[in-house]
Amino acid sequence: MIIDCHGHYTTAPQQLQAYRDAQVAHFDDPNKPQPELQGISDDEIRETIENNQLKAMQDRGADMTIFSPKASAMAHHIGDEAVSKTWTRINNDTIHRVTQLFPDQFIGVCQLPQSVGIPIGNSVDELTRCVNELGFVGCNLNPDPSGGRWTGPPLIDKVWYPFFEAMVELDVPAMIHVSSSCNPNFHATGAHYINADTTAFMQFLQGDLFGDFPDLRLIIPHGGGAVPYHWGRYRGLADMLGKPLLTEHIMKNVYFDTCVYHQPGIDLLFRVIDIDNILFASEMFGAVKGVDRETGHNFDDTKRYIDALQLSDAGQHKVFEANARRVFPRLDAQLKAKGR
């Protein structure tokens, strides 16, 4: 079985974005009409999935995608907590509809109602609802709700602990995933995303988060940002800061995905990072949707790069399936209940 651990609903029906535009407009000017979500039929959802993600999964050989709302549209820096809560719930409910229409191909991961300056503990209720009521298996956790301004505390600060406690209690992982950037210095997918991935890893290195939460599981997407390329730098910094080896200090709890869009990058990821810490992912359709003119294939067809590594059968099983089932135990349980 081939499980893609990182997919977003970037092809959602236009009614969703129309609602968001009206919501933001009303927040900015209360004299404008209250937002109202126009009805989205099951057929509309089927069409957006069957002609896009599902078709690509079938063409590329994937069996299941761990699916969440469009990351760049979370936009936690826009509006206030009430705006974020409403927008988040609508998106998560839409993902749930996808998983009900395509239960064998998609399983949910939730957006969180984060907002600038609001305690992360306020997001626990939505996480709990999505896991216990909607059958979701994880969440996307934004380390920078300010949208590229980095005004909040680092992930190792104890203000995050109430949420980590809830994750451990529910036995779900989080993917560390920022959203859109409102800082003109940081292009969203080309800079802000990779900055955040790398920053999160360095924060984990500086602290002792996993000493406090030995059962916490976090996924750093996009191949771990710049971390694998600079692995020697982080090994050296750990030594300088008096920290244990990275394999002991961080990598019992942190995992990287394979959203790296060229063969040399995938080659490096697998040379540097232990295979037990790598989960297959493509993020289709996300940051890079085009065709690579050098190869003639889609940039985000990441299975092709992994196939080219010629891993052993055991290695392929870990990357494509076993690691995801271990990191997402609720996914494993649901699959086993279906005899898969």
Give catalytic residue positions. Answer: 283
Max CA pair span of the chain: 62
Report the alpha-carbon distance of residue 84 to residue 31 in Å, rounded.
20
CB 216 within 8 A of CB 253: yes
List, in order, residues 6 or more apart from 69 with CB less than 8 Å away: 8, 9, 12, 88, 91, 92, 94, 95, 110, 111, 140
Rounded CA gap, 222 and 78, in Å?
Answer: 24
